[in-house]
Each structure stands twice: as structure tokens, then as C-alpha cells.
Structure 1
Amino acid sequence: MNTEKSYYRYWGKAEKDGSGYHLLPYHCLDVAAIGWFLLNPEKPLCMELAKRLDIKPALLRVFFVFCLALHDLGKFARAFQGLKPELAPDLVMANPQMSYSERHDSLGFLLWRKVLSKQDKDNGDLNWFNKIEACIKIVTGHHGMPPKQSGINLNTFFENEDEEAAKNFMVDICNLFLSDFDPSPLFDNIFQKQLKTVSWQLAGITVLADWIGSNTEYFDYYGCDKQLDLKAYWDTIALPSAQKAVSAMPEPATTRNFESITDLFPIIHKPTPLQEYAANEPLSDGPQLFILEDVTGAGKTEAAIVLAHRLLSAGLADGLYVALPTMATANAMYERLGRVYRRLYDQNNTPSLILAHGARDLSEAFRQTVAVPENKSDGVAYDKPYDSEDEELSASAYCNAWLADNRKKALLADVGVGTLDQALLAVLPVRHQSLRLLGLRRKVLLVDEVHAYDSYMQKLLDTLIEAHARQGGSVILLSATLPKKMRLQLVSAFYRGLGKEAPEIHNTAYPLATHAPASSDLEKHIDTREEVKRTVSVIRLDTEDAVFEQVQSAVNKGRCVCWIRNTVKAARESHTALSQSEWMDKHHLHLFHSRFAMIDRQRIENDVLKRFGDQSGHEDRRGHVLIATQVVEQSLDLDFDVLITDLAPIDLIVQRAGRLCRHIRDGKGNRLLDHDAKDQRSKPTLYVYSPDPTKGADENWLKNHQKGTQAVYPHIGQLWLTAKLLCKGRFAMPGDARELIENVYGNEPEDEVPEEIRLASNIAIAQNQAQAGMAGLNVLKINKGYTWSSGDWDEEIRIPTRLTEEESITVALAKHKDGKLMPYAANIHNSWAMSIVKIPEWEWKKARGKITQEFQKIIEELKAEVKFLRWLEVFPLTEETQHYYKAAGGWQPQGGENP
């Protein structure tokens, strides 16, 4: 021990109650030791990063571990030390004149830039330190955001003694790790250029190292009374502890060799043409992009998983993340993938499958898969991966508790399913984005319903695809309705990530598979299976009365019906009108929209899937009517005998039509499972509630007919073109798919739109351009490297992954009982979270005025007691306010429009 070293008088970690502390030099070595194992030069991660930097893996390891040991330089600030002024008499004394008003990450970087990088030391020339500023920026940004680069006066935070202690620590750390180090490779132009792109992965490693290195389960607190010199602590404490901590992380699962589609999906006896393509298309070397366009029911998801398995099996990827448009569709895919994902991996592995979105803890299916020790959680242990009798996979999914304990670790799992938002956060300037980007590294990024995003999200997705290709990741994109110009945009983004010129995109066939780079044809026309080839008749309905007549006619014939309305208000009104009809059995009428409390929404979604899903039969469906919004539009496997839809853009009309006679059934609606069976119901007819495009085509053409639709889909020109196309009275799938899409979204059809409608559409066009512009401002400038100037950094809750036209408020519903407020969803796990509902801001402002002062005081007390509620609104359901919410109808605007 060297008691003359002043840096032993600084604490780095401390108990909240001041009962114990950990010396700063030791914590720095703890984190460095984690980095030592994460950057094992024999592991793929270190080898890949070193290759991109054009240096040897061993050199990368030792140099970056040295940098990690300096990650907390800012804690040498007397202002930081003053946060715990009375920890121990041997520590430096607090300076009451120094306020801790800047984070230690920025303080550490500026200390390096202004003081430490300029020093020459007696033990050697360290002038080369000023060449590694980018690396110091990475490690000092270990709390998930780059440090500030200016605007801080160090004298208000550091005393001279502090700077001297930091200087001595830096020199000793240099001697510990870099005694035989040749810094010349760091000056190479390739290293300096590539460091900007590699910096994002190194930043993710830094965040991970700091998280694990701060875990007191593995790193005990050593105060002044247990001093060891740095070398002794590194050898006897830091390295052994880090080895135990890193060994607790889940090991990547070993991929199983791809054999065939039926090996992966035993229930598939006859693969679809798209699935045959996925199994046989020659793979290229390196990152690859696939865009699969085919009709609903063509087996796109299975085809994508086949491609992902082949990429994994070929050593071209290390994992899979499936990105869906909504939490509901992600939940459905999670359960679907949970039954098959283990077939991607060797028999003796337990790969982790994780659900990644903001409300994943509300998913019972996910909670039951988290394998943790009995004394740590109520989760249940995982099943063995193979059943001993028939060697079929267990239906139970498995997620390692280390991955499940923090949503920001989610993308580190072998297989992830979640919303696209979780992946998009990797390219937004939000805290810990680097960990998400690291988690996606060398994974197959599978994005479903890629057409379903607005201009803002499309711009973010382009950047994500570019960044993913740059770090060696492959991408699979799925769509039933993708405009050509969007396909070109996606291909161009991927090639920018590869640093190459994008090829020409010209094929207009449908279905179509695009593979880039490809060993042969970039674009291939794919046939589709006979069962999904069909012609859909289209009948336009002018009035709501005409819609009700069709509903009644279908119900009288024992058919099940769905009417997709474009707004929640319209859905409520139609549901109310039907409930008042004498011919409508109230027990056969259902309502499904987005403004239900989570507990009710889950119940309704499960009922909808049971009643109208793949396994439903005649008795489940007969005479039942569902009034729904866009919640049934994507990724839910629903099948209706009769489908009515409000007018919407053509791609959504096609998407909605995919819920019409989706499965093969007999005349009563029972499933027919024989592979050569034919649907025995009436020919599919889509009813479209729409104004006549040939009459009154001005800016009020739609507003006068269908209130609310234009607010949801403001590009009225696209709606008019859609209505005009549907006047043909039919469309054939897949034959007409490309023509339908291009005749609405292509550049040429805009000339056909009446002038007054075209002028009204200019507002929507301007909004789209503004959205794309906002995305361009928000998204990270990846080529600038991990630096404050690469984005306007903020907390993730303030940098959106998607824009909404209507501001919504998250409200927790509460019941009043015995003078207290209890969660609406009582006696279940996450009862408060299951009680939340999102409602428009204007509706909330009206409802909030009904809360009495007495209840406002009770709500304040409740928020002080329940941490989850502190940033939410709470609405008490009392005798005076209970009409605002009904379990069967959801949130009622203006206080009580009973469904």
C-alpha cells in the first residue's frame, strides 16, 4: 500500500445512509476489469471491432481497458466529493463553496481535455494523450450520453489538490496497463476515421461495464482501512470479481444448423412459394437486406424466420430482433415465436427470448418465462428445451433474469420481440441508446408491416437500417403493400451503411422478393399459394343506414361481421346505435378500440382472438358483430365472414381486406385443415363506407360524409384516388396489388386528383415533409461518432420515436373505497399499471375539472405513496364520475355516453 497517493482519499461509490463506501480508484478498476473480460481478444466482439479499427485485438483490449479505468475522473471533483461530506475522516474534506451542479461525466471529460491531456510526466512522454480525446469522450459518457464539451469552469468544481490526485491516478493507471504500449497505431488515419463509427459500440460496452462494475453483489466496498496498491487490487480483487460477474451474464446460444422448413416448422407440410424462396435463395457474404412483399396469408413471418435461421446457421448473424408496429402485435408475435424459436439453436442450449416494449411487465406470458432464483422474484423457472419422450420443443419460452431486470438490456437477448420503437431508440440521442445499438449488433433485424409507419418513423427507420448495416447486421423487411419509392428508399439506406452505391430498383412484379447484395437477381418475382389467390368484390355504401342493413342481413344469416371505423368516437357511436336495434342480440355485439384500461383491453383482445381467430368455430362466430378501430388492422390473425370498412388509404384497405375470409372454412365457419380444402363461404365481398368520388369532389368531399376520417388520414388526395380505384367493383390479389399501390402512392396519379382536393392535400404533404424534417433533426448523426454534436441529447421520454396528431394523456383509473383510492384493476400483478388508459388531452382537461378538492388531496397523498403514479394523472371513479369509464365501452368522452 502507498499511503502517499492522494487519490486514495476519494470515494467513488457510497451507501445511501453513509454506512459504507468504495474508494474511487478501486471502482475505476472494477469497471476496467469488466471491460477486460468483455473485450476478450479471442471473442468475436473484440476481433470484429479490432478489425474495423485496423489494430490487433490484444492492443484494443489493453488500450480501451486503460480508458475505462479513467471513466470516473469527474468524481475527483471536490464538488462531487461534497455529496457525502462525512463518510470518513480520512477522505478529502468537502468544500461548501463548491456546488455539484454539473454531472461528473462532463467534469471528467473537461478535466482530461483542459488539464490531464497536456501533461508530461517523469516516467515517460505522454503527449500522445491528446490524440485519444475521442476515446476519453466515450468512457466519460458512461451514463449513456456523451459528456458536455464546453461551458464549464473547472475551478468552480475542482481544487488544485483534486487535479493533482487525478493526475497521479492517471499516471499510475498508465503504468499499470500501458508500460509496454506502442501508441503509434492510434495515429493511423484508418483508426481515426473508423473510430467514429466504432465509437457507438465502444460506448455500449462502457455503459455495460459500468453497470456490472457497480454491482455490489460482486464488488464489495473497500474503504480507506483496506487499502491495496493498484496492481494488487487489480490482480487479487478486481479481476476475480469481474470474472464472476461476467460469468453470470447469459452465454450466447449456439445456432442449430438449418435443415429444412419442416424441420423448423413441423406443421408446414407444403411450403408457400415465398417460403420456398426463403429456404433456397443463395446467401451472400456479409450483411444482407431482404424485402419480402406478398399478400396476407402467404406465410411471410415463417419465411422471414427461415431466412433468419439460415443467416444464423451460416455464421452471418448472432441473434434476431422482431420489430412490430404496436405493443399488441408484439405480444401476439411473442407468444407465436415462443413456440418455435428454440429450434433455431442447439438442443442443449437455453437461448433467451425477451419481450421488449414499455408495457411488457403487463404481459403474463412474458412474466411467466423469466427464470430467476426463488428468493428474487415470483417468476417461474423455465422448462427443459426438449421433451424427453418425443424430442419436440417445450412450448414454454425462457428469458434469463439478468436480461429481464432492465428494459435497456432487452436487445442483448438471443431473440427479442418488441415494438419498432425499442430499436429506433438506438439511433436517437437518448440516454443509453448505445447499449441498444450494441444489442442489435450482428442481429437479424426483422421489421414487420414496414409500410405502416409515417414520414417521421420512416426517416428514423432509414437511419436505423443504415447504422445496422454499418455494424454488420442483416435486415428482413415484410410488407403486403409497399410502394416502389419506399422500397428504393430502404435499399438506399442499407447500402449507405455498407458504404456502397445502391443498385437500381425497377421490378414492378408482385409478389416480389428483393435481396441485396445478391449473388444473382436483385429482385425476383415470386408466385403465391393458390389458397390466397382471390378476387374480392367491392361494394360502396353511401350511408350508415346502408351499413346497418348489411350488418343485419349478415347477422340474420348467422355470419360474423366486423366494421372497422377510423376513429374511436365513430366506433362508439356505431356500437351504441347497434345496441339500440331490436334485432341485435346485445351479447353478440362487441367493441374494441384503444381507449380501454389495460386490464379490459387485454380481456377484449383475448376474447376477439378466441371468437374470430384461427381456432374459432361456428358456435364462437355465429351472428357476432365487432365494431373496431385500427387495433384489428395489423398482425392479429382474425377472420370475418363479412367485413365493412370506412374509407382509408388503399394499402390499409388491402390490409383490412386480409381479415375477410382469411382462413379456409366450411359454409358455417368451421375451420377446414386439409391442405387442398377450399373455402365454402360466399365469395369475399368488401363493403366500403365512402362518399362517391365522382360527386362533390372538393375540400369538403369527405368531411361532409365521414367526420373524423380526414383528421386521421389528412392526405385527402390519396383517399380520393383510393375511392376512385374501388369504383371498379373488384380487385384481384395478388394480381392487382402493385397497380393499386402505385396508382395511389406513385407520382403520376397525383395529376388525376381534382384541383380543390389536391390543394387540400398540400397541407398533408407539408405535414409529411415537416415530419421527415423533424426526424432529420432528432436522429443521431452516426458518422460524427459518439459526441454531443451528433444529436440534441435528452432523456428518452422527451425524444419521441413516433409523432401523434393528437396529444394523449396517460391516466390511472382508481376506485374509491373506505376513504382510499385503490387501482381499478384490483388483486392482480401490476394492478396500477393494468389500470391505465390513454385518452386525448382535451377529454382529460374536461374530466379533470370534475375531480373535487377533497379527492385532489387524496390523489396527492396517493402519488407520494405509490412511485409508479408520480408522473401520471389519476382519475377517481366515484358515484359522481364513474360514468366516465365503462368496462364494456372504455373511456366515455364528456362524462358518460353509455355504449
Structure 2
Amino acid sequence: MTEKMYYKYWGKAKSDNDSGASYHLLPYHCLDVAAVGWQLLAPDKPLCKQLAKQLKVEPEWLRQFFVFCLALHDLGKFSQAFQSLRQDLSVDLVKANPRMSYSERHDSLGFCLWQEILQTKLDEQLLASDSTDSAVNAWPIQLKSWLEIVTGHHGVPPKTNLRTRNFFEVVDEQAAMAFVQDSVEFFLADFDFQPLLDKALKKRLKPVSWQLAGVAVLADWLGSNQEYFIYYDKPKELKTYWHEIALEKAKEAIGALPKIPDVNAFQTIEKLFPFIQQPTPLQEYAIKEPLTEQPQLFILEDVTGAGKTEAALILTQRLMAHGLADGLYIALPTMATANAMYKRLSNVYHQFYQSGSKPSLILAHGARELSQVFQDSVVLAKQSITDGDYLSGQNEEDQELSATAYCNAWLADSRKKALLADVGVGTLDQALLAVLPARHQSLRLLGLGRKVLLVDEVHAYDSYMQKLLNALLEAHARQGGSVILLSATLPQTMREGLVNAFYKGLGQNAPALSYPAPYPLATHTPATAIEQSIDTREAVKRTVNIQRLNNEEEVIAQIKLAVAAGRCVCWIRNTVKSARQSYQDLLDAGIASNQLSLFHSRFAMIDRQVIENRTLEYFGDNSTPEHRKGQVLIATQVVEQSLDLDFDVMISDLAPIDLIIQRAGRLMRHIRDMQGNRIRQEGAKDLRGRPILYLLSPDPIEGADINWLKPDYAGTQAVYQHIGQLWLTAKLLVRRGQFTMPDDARDLIEGVYSFDAEEKIPDALLDGSIQATSKAMVQKSMADLNVLKLNKGYTRSSGDWDEETRMPTRLTEEETISVALAIVENGQLKPYAQAETYAWALSTVKLPSHEWGKAQQQIPDNLKAMIVTLKAEQKALCWVEILPFEEGQVIYSSSLGFVG
């Protein structure tokens, strides 16, 4: 074999102390990645079929051409600048040019080399050939968009405006060209180039390019795994390496991934949820509603306790069994609600799949490593890889039913991979990153591709996140995904926006929706019957009485009466500062410390976990009279969504109407007797008396002026700035004196959020309301600015690309800072959390920047010096701030959280 120049370039290199060959030749790495792509895009797999269907080409054609493109993904490594990164590998390699600086990544270098040099050379060679086939001669110019996809395999599209002469010698260009020629000859022999000349294919490629970019990222990750792709440094014919090594190793690498399990058909609700004796009307709808053969959107609106989650999971299993999905991702508003859903789903998700399979369940959010349940599942996964079984000593069926969660370790090592799991639970943020110009977003979008996207509490997001969610629905519908959205309270304008976004992804005109719409309501589209009025179960039909309280003294008096009667109470405050103060005021008023607890967002993770678990134990579904008696929880918004909590008495600061309805959903949520014992018999009535929601609010007088909420309710106005909506909420509730669910739900929502309702806001409050409306418009504009321009395709100009840590999925009034709490012990800084693993992470609390600024000023100089030393020793702490405190300093406590 005449040795080609491209055998003088390395593609992967080991550190000095690794055994075996010290480097892997570049052409071999290129073939490794292409071989993984060959396996991923098997024509009989749903992924290849779906992509080919969108492109309107044959699956075999797509596989052959895209694998060729993958072989060219690392053309940039033929650069002398890149090769100079390791000059110690071998004298057989190309001599590096030390004058060439590696100042641009090889992914961009490869794309620019193609654009500036290689395409022209290949064109000239084809024109000089004997072929008279115009397609054979003209196809290279159509390769630009495809190479933009594969050269962007590090998660960001390549730059397109680099001067290659600054990075490539002539010999580099010749070596790269030789590799391109041989790749064309090897991969594209007898290939039909005609589809590439179709301008319509180029247009269809743009929306599909995002998923193909995900395939490129995944192929490069797997093709770089030394466990399978051992380094080879001796020249071997490409054809020989491909057949004897690359394809076989790619098969092994793919075989080690979690298998897509076979889906179970939905049988009965009792099979999925043994605790359900009688389906709710919404669950009956989920069981019987006819499905169509295309991606579908469901919006389920019903009262708290109507079984929305179970109904959504029934629909999910049916959609999966219908061949429309292989898995599920549940997106929730907070990490706390995601943790709770993860525990809840771990008992159910196995039923989606056939016996003997091992579907993976992944928790996906920024602090998932701190969830013990998740960590336990990772341990189980690692044991399963080693031992073959993930619960030894049991037969396969028992293992499937007994394991709380099976989590494949490969999927668990990065949140970027988490959406590739069969079933994922996490915050909505992890899914929204799929439509933001954040590194590796394409992998997230690919992971969502064959999944049902289930978004809970869909009303809970601000204008910025709503806009991003609309973009996500559009992208998901375009790639053939179905969506289920859950809400207790959804304004009409929001419902229309969600439907329009989904239909935009389908490339169709959205249907008209009824107004006013009935409630409860199931919206299913595309479908024969788009909107169906749903009854709700008798147990959650109830009237909640409203009693307004003028001031905090009245609230404290009401709490003392409830505690004396042995009732459990929750007071939801709108700010952390007011929650802390009320906690202290209740202690001063004589409430015993063992009867009082505080729950807000400024606790260190280790304390927050304890508080969250205690809250669920004392006030959750299985709470006992012994736990509940005379207990008081002072909380912020952390308890108003998705947590299954039940209080005898609910007191709420004034908030927008949808949040008041949410908070009221935690009032006498479960059926209990007078002592607080759970009653589970069908048809039973709650014996605790009339549910009363106490509303801390000023009188919503007609002549309210701009100071209506000030000074006593300034915190409320700071959080909920649309003062007109607050006034409308108070006016509605106080005037009615009660509301009945579900009958009044739609009137309440539209009575605050409709255009007609806004006309009733007093003139003096309009300025503040207009400012809030303007702010919402600014948030939408920010979302429009940040969100990917998906119609442009996978290209650098589709967004302002950055690392995901700097890509906001939420907008906040003020930047928050991650601060690790440290205690001073024997002249050293130790993590506040006493834990064997993740001690520093468990010691972390998020603080508003102004709070951190004040605390930082109080750190003595000697402790600042210790912080510098600590960060030098603990590299992971470079990304967080450190707040040390000594004994006697009241900066932080496990009962109050951060106090400053």
C-alpha cells in the first residue's frame, strides 16, 4: 500500500502514562465516528425513518450520505496549528509549525477549510473527470449545510469566516483533500447524487439539521470512547479498518448503551396505578379518547386533586403503544417538585414497558446529584453493569417490579445526556435549553425526539419562559413529538398561544378555540373533537370560603386559635424576608418552636432537603394526626405547586388569582376526619368543616390609589408588580366571599386576565399595571432575542451561542449567586454540610446579588485569605462564592436559613 499523507496526522492522543499506542491516527478516528453513525442511523430504526420522512428521502440514502459527512467531521485536525498541540508523539507524524497558533477550534477550521479550499478542488476534479452526469459533477456545492452540521459536533455550529492560511500548510490541504477523495470513493460509490440537486431538499434540511447535529454529537462522543475504539498508529487501508475494526467496535459501543425497551399496551388503570379504585372523569377521558396517527397535543385543565398526572401518564402509555413515542420527559417548575415527581414515577414507569426490560429513569436538574434517591439509582445502575442483575437474588420479573428506579450510569454522568433516557423527570429548564443557543442543545433536542413531552403547572411560568415554551412546542411538533400540558388554571390567551405554537411546528393552521371555554376542559388536537368538557370527581368539588384579614396581627391571632384547636396551618408569604419575620413573630407570640417550621428558597441544600422531607411527612398524603396536630408551616411559593400537601387552615398573602387557586388547592386537599385521619373510602366526605381561605389583603376599594399596597404590603407589590391584577383578584374574592370549584374557575381566571377585566382597574392603578405589562413585553422580546432561529437551520447565525451556564432559561429581577457556606474549624474552612459526599454542594445556597454583596463585606481579611487558599485546593469551588462564618455569628441557621 502506498502510504497516503493523511496517515501522518493524529486525531486522538493519550497522556504520557497511558499504555498502548500513544495516539490514534486521524483517519481512523473519522471512521470510528462514521461507523457509530452507521449504527445510529440504521434504516429500520425509528430515528432514521423519521428523519428520512421529514427530508423526503429514503432511509438508506440518508444513512449512506450522512455517514460520509460524519467521516469528514474532523477535517480541521489536518491543521498544523492543531497538530502542534502534541509534538511529542512520533517522528512519523507531520512536522508541526510552531509559528501557527491554535487560536480557533478544529471544528470551525474544518468547515472553513472545506468552504475555502476543498470544495473548489473537488469541483475541479469532478469536472475534469469523464462523467457526463451533471449530478455527479455538481453535488459538492450542496455539501455546505451538511458539513456545517457535522463539523459542529462539539455542540456549537462552526464559525464560517476564518482564513485557513493562518492554520493550514499546503501539505495539510493536500492530506485533507486526499482523505476527502478516498472517502468519496469509499462511501459514495454508486451513490444517487440527484436528490442533492433538489433545492427543496436544502430547505427541508434546515429544520431537520438540529436533530442531525445531535446525531453528530452523540456519534463523536461514542466514537471517542477508548474502551471500544483502541488507538491504532500504523497505516491500514481505510476499507480494511472500516470493515475489520470500526464497524465491529461501533456495534459493541452501541450495544453497551441502554436498549430501547419494548412498550406495553395500556391495559387497565389498576395495572398502572393499583391505588386507584375508581377512575376520575379526566382519567376516564384519558382511557377512552381516540388517538390519531400523527403528533398530538393534549391540554388537560382540571382542579387540584382531579388526577391530572395519572391521566397524563395513561395518555403517555397509549401514545407510546400507538407507536408515536418510545419514552417520556416530565418537565416541572422547580427542583423540589421534580424530586417529588421522580420518587412518584419510580413506582410506575416500569409498567410502560414489557417485563424483563430495564428502562432508564433519570432525574434532570441542576442539583440532581444531591438527591439521595437519584444517587441510589445510579449505584444500582453501576452494579447492574458489573453484575448483570440490578437486584441480586430475585427473578427477573420481581426485579422489574421491586427496583425503585433503574438509571444507566452512562446516561447519569451528564445532564446533557439525561434527555436520552427512556423516562426523564426534571425542571422545564433542561428541556428549554434545547431551543436556546447553548452548547449541546442539539443533543437535548435529539433526546426529546421520540418522547412525549409532559409539562406540569404550565400556567406557572412568566412571559419569558412562556415564549421559550412555545418555541419548544414548535420544535417538538416539527420532529414528530407529542405533548401533554397540565394546568389547574389556564387563561384563554395562553391556551391559544400553546396550540398555535404546536401547529406552527406541524406546518398547519391552528384551529379556532371556543371562548368562553368550559371548565374542566380537555383540549386534544389534531382530533375530531378538539375540546371536550369534563366532569370532575365529587371529592374535589367544593366551595372555599374567603375571609379577608387586614393585617399580620389578625393572621397571628387566627393561627393561635387554630393551633389551640389542634389544627395544622400553612401561611404562604410572598417574600423570604416576610416569611422569616413571621416565623419570629409567631415564636414571640407563644407558638412553640417544635410546632413551627419555615420553608423558603434560601436554605443550604442539606437543610432544604430535610425541610422538604419533613414537610411531606407532616402534611403530605400519608401524614398522621400525631404529625399534623397544632403544626404551623410558614412558607413562600415553594409549596404552592405540585407538592402533595394538605392543611386544615390556609392563610395566603394576596397574589394573582391563579396562584390563590393553587394555594387553595392545598387546603383540605385530602379527605380526612376531624382528627386528621385519612379517609380513603369512595364517596367519603371531609369531616373537618368548611374550608376557609384567609386572605391577607387591603380592602379592594373602588377608589384605590397607587399606594393601595404600601407600606404594609410592599413586598407583595415587589413580587407581583401588576398591581391591577392584584386589585382585581382581591375584588373578585372579597365580593364573592367564596368560590366553588370547578364551576367558578374559568370566571375567576378570565375575571382577572381577560382584556375586559383590565378595563375595570381603577385609573390610579393603571400606571403600575402598564409598567408590569411593559415588563412582560420586554420579557417576550428577550425570549425572541435569545431563542434559536430554528428556521435558519444548524448554523452559527441561528443564535448568539454560549455555554449553557450563561444561557438563561429564566429571567429574574436580580442575579442570584451560588454561595457555599463554610464553618471555621481549627484554622481551616470546612463545608457547612456534614456529609461524606457532595459536602460543598450540599452547603450551597442561592442568594440575590445584593444580599451576597452585603455578606461579602462582612468577611474579615484573615478569612478572605483562607478562601483564596481553599479555592486553590478545591478547583470545583472556583465557580461558587464562599461565605465563612464562625460560632456565634447569626448569618445562617438551619431553622431560619440565610439571614445576613
TM-score range, shorter chain: over 0.9
Does the 8 Å contact 1:813/1:824 carry over to 2? yes
What does residue 40 of structure 2 align with? 38
Instruction: Quote the offset at 1:840 in angstroms.
Output: 1.2
What does residue 825 of structure 1 align with? 833
What does residue 518 of structure 2 align with? 509
In 2, Cα distance between equivalents of 1:283 and 1:393: 29
In 2, Cα distance between equivalents of 1:484 and 1:375: 50
What does residue 262 of structure 1 align with? 270
Does the 8 Å contact 1:322/1:417 carry over to 2? yes
The structure-2 alpha-carbon separation of the partners of 1:177 and 1:310, relative to structure 1 and needing over 3 Å to count, comes to same
The structure-2 alpha-carbon separation of the partners of 1:676 and 1:386, relative to structure 1 and needing over 3 Å to count, comes to farther
**Which piece of structure 1 moves more, 229-238 or 199-208?**
229-238
What does residue 414 of structure 2 align with? 406
**Are 1:610 and 2:621 counterparts?**
no
What does residue 155 of structure 1 align with? 165
Instruction: Quote the offset at 1:695 in angstroms.
Output: 6.3
Residue-by-residue CA offset, 1:503-540 (whole Å, 9 max, x unaligned): 00115110000000112x21010000000000000000
In 1, Cα distance between equivalents of 2:431 and 2:25: 37
Does the 8 Å contact 1:372/1:379 carry over to 2? no
**Are 1:7 and 2:6 counterparts?**
yes
Instruction: Quote the offset at 1:388 in angstroms.
Output: 7.6
Secondary structure of 1:369's partner?
A: helix
Instruction: Quote the offset at 1:818 in angstroms.
Output: 2.0
State the number of aligned residues: 886
In 2, Cα distance between equivalents of 1:281 and 1:480: 20
What does residue 353 of structure 2 align with? 345
Secondary structure of 1:399's partner?
A: coil
What does residue 642 of structure 1 align with? 649
What does residue 723 of structure 2 align with? 716
Does the 8 Å contact 1:370/1:379 carry over to 2? no
Does the 8 Å contact 1:385/1:393 carry over to 2? no
In 1, Cα distance between equivalents of 2:383 and 2:359: 23
Letter in 2 for 1:279: I
Instruction: Quote the offset at 1:373 in angstroms.
Output: 7.3
Residue-by-residue CA offset, 1:689-744 (whole Å, 9 max, x unaligned): 00011166111111223121111111111000000001121011000000000010
Instruction: Quote the offset at 1:385 in angstroms.
Output: 13
What does residue 593 of structure 1 align with? 600
Instruction: Quote the offset at 1:677 in angstroms.
Output: 1.4
Secondary structure of 1:27's partner?
A: helix
Letter in 2 for 1:2: T
Q: Note the 1:319-718 alignment, pairs <5 A.
A: 319-370=327-378, 382-383=390-391, 393-507=401-515, 508-519=517-528, 521-582=529-590, 584-694=591-701, 697-718=704-725
**Which piece of structure 1 moves more, 693-702 or 391-400?**
391-400
In 2, Cα distance between equivalents of 1:343 and 1:112: 50
Instruction: Quote the offset at 1:675 in angstroms.
Output: 1.3
In 1, Cα distance between equivalents of 2:393 and 2:683: 34
Letter in 2 for 1:9: K
Residue-by-residue CA offset, 1:390-443 (whole Å, 9 max, x unaligned): 898225111111211221111111111000000000000110000000000121
What does residue 897 of structure 1 align with? none
TM-score by length of 2: 0.96
Secondary structure of 1:312's partner?
A: helix
What does residue 181 of structure 2 align with? 171
The structure-2 alpha-carbon separation of the partners of 1:388 and 1:83, relative to structure 1 and needing over 3 Å to count, comes to closer
**Which piece of structure 1 moves more, 751-760 or 298-307?**
751-760
Does the 8 Å contact 1:369/1:381 carry over to 2? no
Secondary structure of 1:88's partner?
A: coil
Does the 8 Å contact 1:371/1:380 carry over to 2? no
**Which piece of structure 1 moves more, 10-19 or 636-645?**
10-19
What does residue 248 of structure 2 align with? 240
Residue-by-residue CA offset, 1:268-326 (whole Å, 9 max, x unaligned): 11100000000001111110000000000000000000000110111121111100000
The structure-2 alpha-carbon separation of the partners of 1:394 and 1:386, relative to structure 1 and needing over 3 Å to count, comes to farther
Does the 8 Å contact 1:317/1:473 carry over to 2? yes
What does residue 135 of structure 1 align with? 146
Letter in 2 for 1:134: S
Residue-by-residue CA offset, 1:746-771 (whole Å, 9 max, x unaligned): 01111100111011111111110000
What does residue 15 of structure 2 align with? 16
**Are 1:146 and 2:157 counterparts?**
yes
Does the 8 Å contact 1:138/1:786 carry over to 2? yes
Secondary structure of 1:370's partner?
A: helix
The structure-2 alpha-carbon separation of the partners of 1:385 and 1:710, relative to structure 1 and needing over 3 Å to count, comes to farther
The structure-2 alpha-carbon separation of the partners of 1:43 and 1:374, relative to structure 1 and needing over 3 Å to count, comes to closer
Instruction: Quote the offset at 1:879 in angstroms.
Output: 3.4
In 2, Cα distance between equivalents of 1:8 and 1:143: 24
Letter in 1 for 2:572: I
What does residue 202 of structure 2 align with? 192
In 2, Cα distance between equivalents of 1:193 and 1:544: 62
In 2, Cα distance between equivalents of 1:387 and 1:817: 50
Does the 8 Å contact 2:356/2:397 carry over to 1? no
Instruction: Quote the offset at 1:237 in angstroms.
Output: 1.5
Instruction: Quote the offset at 1:864 in angstroms.
Output: 1.9
What does residue 29 of structure 2 align with? 27
Does the 8 Å contact 1:53/1:190 carry over to 2? no
Letter in 1 for 2:200: I
In 2, Cα distance between equivalents of 1:170 and 1:372: 45
Residue-by-residue CA offset, 1:81-120 (whole Å, 9 max, x unaligned): 1111222111112212111111111111010011111122
The structure-2 alpha-carbon separation of the partners of 1:395 and 1:676, relative to structure 1 and needing over 3 Å to count, comes to farther
Instruction: Quote the offset at 1:16 in angstroms.
Output: 3.5
In 1, Cα distance between equivalents of 2:412 and 2:400: 26
Does the 8 Å contact 2:306/2:540 carry over to 1? yes
In 2, Cα distance between equivalents of 1:423 and 1:392: 28
**Are 1:310 and 2:318 counterparts?**
yes
Letter in 2 for 1:72: D
Secondary structure of 1:832's partner?
A: helix
In 2, Cα distance between equivalents of 1:154 and 1:118: 14
Does the 8 Å contact 1:371/1:381 carry over to 2? no
Secondary structure of 2:401's partner?
A: coil
Unmatched segments (≥5 aa) in structure 1 = 894-899
**Which piece of structure 1 moves more, 120-129 or 618-627?**
120-129
In 1, Cα distance between equivalents of 2:330 and 2:182: 46
Q: State which of 860, 871, 886 in structure 1 corresponds to 2:868.
A: 860
**Which piece of structure 1 moves more, 120-129 or 6-15?**
120-129
What does residue 896 of structure 1 align with? none
In 1, Cα distance between equivalents of 2:76 and 2:476: 32
In 1, Cα distance between equivalents of 2:264 and 2:527: 24
Does the 8 Å contact 1:74/1:105 carry over to 2? yes
Residue-by-residue CA offset, 1:359-396 (whole Å, 9 max, x unaligned): 11111101111256768999997348997898982251
Letter in 1 for 2:733: L
The structure-2 alpha-carbon separation of the partners of 1:380 and 1:42, relative to structure 1 and needing over 3 Å to count, comes to closer
In 2, Cα distance between equivalents of 1:376 and 1:259: 29
Identity %: 61
**Are 1:777 and 2:785 counterparts?**
yes
Letter in 1 for 2:189: S
Unmatched segments (≥5 aa) in structure 2 = none
The structure-2 alpha-carbon separation of the partners of 1:673 and 1:57, relative to structure 1 and needing over 3 Å to count, comes to same
TM-score by length of 1: 0.96
Q: Note the 1:780-795 alignment, pairs <5 A.
A: 780-795=788-803
In 2, Cα distance between equivalents of 1:252 and 1:188: 35
